[in-house]
């Protein structure tokens, strides 16, 4: 019985290899094998309609200074209309239009979970529409003492709702911030990021940060390539949000569908095992 199983698996494996090599155009990446140990995660398994765990997360509230520095339009709340568990293992952040104003939510792990180096990933199904700007990102934990952009910013995933097949990975630091970050985009040739969950990740060590979509490496930033200080040898904290409007994305139009929901399946942080 056992032998039969093994044989059939072998046959099927052979078969699948043939089919893939004949059908799939994507080149295969050969990355060095790494072993990761999970050190922190939120699987968002809370009860339907509950808020994210405050042992892990803070809520940023209100309009921020100058729309959180980017002329964003939304006011952040901690209402369950804007942020809640769906009861099926997802966190939902919802951007809502009411009249001419917008509400949404932004959560951070500042002071609750701060981490240096490793692999940081989240599985997310994105929203869509012009002026919708969701992000999964990190800020240097020393932001209050050295301020931005000296603290450093790692944008694991940013996205413009009017281009639902493109995501961006960026670093902002001293000398390369705002409209001039170190950045690259990753586009799906036939598909969108708002129709299914995709895995957005960085792998981060002392001298480089690699950006991944669905485990495909699309950007490697080496410390020596950055035109400014490498400010990533210190702890960072995590952020998740949907902004509405702002310098990066432009403004929502009357055609932007509302409400818009970002579904987050999990956020996981790993350390590299030597």
Q: How far is the CB of 2 from another protein (least distance, A)?
A: 17
**Token output for 181:** 């970050």
Transcribe 170-205 into DSSP letters: EEEBTTB-TTS-EEEEEE-SS--TTSS-EEEEEEE-
Q: Does the annotation count 121 as an active-site position? A: no
Which of residues 101 and 195 has its CB atom nearest to another protein in the complex? 195
Quick note: the x/- pattern for another protein over 168-197, rule CB under 8 A, is --------------------xxxxx-xx--
Is 114 catalytic? The answer is no
Instruction: For residues 70 and 34, give the distance between their C-alpha atoms in angstroms, rounded to a whole number.
Output: 37
Q: Which of residues 195-254 bind another protein (CB under 8 A)?
A: 195, 253
Which residue of 7, 12, 49, 227 would you call a contact of another protein, by CB under 8 A? 12
Q: Which one of 3, 5, 27, 35 is in contact with another protein (CB under 8 A)?
A: 35
Smallest distance, another protein to C-beta of residue 241, A: 18
Give DSSP secondary structure letters for 229-255. ----SS-EEEEEEEEES-TTT----TT
- Which of helix, strand or coil describes residue 61? coil
Of 102 and 230, nearer to another protein (C-beta) is: 102
**Tokens encoding 8:** 């059939």
Per-residue x/- mask for another protein, residues 117 to 156, rule CB under 8 A? -----------xxx-x------------------------
Residue 157's H or E segment, with its range, is strand 153-159
Active-site residue (options: 43, 153, 203, 206): 153
3-state helix, strand, coil in the chain (%, to 5): 10, 45, 45
Catalytic residue among 72, 121, 158, 203: 158
Place of tokens 């990446």: 29
Chain positions contacting another protein, by CB under 8 A:
12-13, 15-16, 19-20, 23, 33-38, 128-130, 132, 161-165, 188-192, 194-195, 253, 255-257, 270, 273
């Amino acid at each position: 019985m056992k032998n039969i199983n093994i044989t059939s698996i072998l046959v099927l494996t052979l078969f699948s290899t043939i089919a893939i090599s004949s059908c799939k155009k994507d080149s295969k990446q050969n990355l060095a094998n790494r072993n990761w140990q999970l050190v922190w995660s939120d699987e968002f398994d809370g009860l339907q309609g509950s808020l994210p765990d405050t042992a892990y997360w803070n809520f940023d509230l209100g309009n921020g200074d100058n729309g959180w520095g980017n002329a964003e339009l939304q006011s952040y709340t901690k209402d369950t209309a804007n942020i809640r568990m769906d009861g099926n293992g997802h966190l939902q952040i919802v951007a809502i239009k009411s009249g001419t104003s917008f509400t949404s939510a932004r959560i951070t792990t500042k002071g609750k979970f701060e981490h240096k180096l490793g692999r940081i990933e989240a599985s997310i199904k994105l929203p869509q529409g012009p002026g919708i700007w969701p992000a999964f990102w990190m800020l240097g934990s020393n932001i209050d003492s050295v301020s931005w952009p000296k603290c450093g910013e790692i944008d694991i995933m940013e996205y413009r709702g009017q281009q639902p097949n493109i995501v961006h990975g960026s670093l902002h630091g001293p000398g390369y911030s705002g409209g001039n970050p170190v950045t690259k985009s990753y586009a799906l040739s036939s598909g969108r990021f708002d129709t299914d969950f995709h895995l957005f990740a960085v792998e981060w060590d002392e001298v480089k940060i690699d950006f991944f979509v669905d485990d495909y490496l699309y950007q490697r930033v080496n410390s020596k390539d950055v035109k400014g200080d490498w400010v990533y040898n210190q702890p960072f904290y995590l952020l998740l949000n949907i902004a509405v409007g702002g310098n990066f994305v432009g403004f929502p139009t009357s055609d932007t569908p509302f409400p818009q929901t970002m579904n987050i399946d999990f956020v996981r942080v790993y350390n590299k095992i030597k």
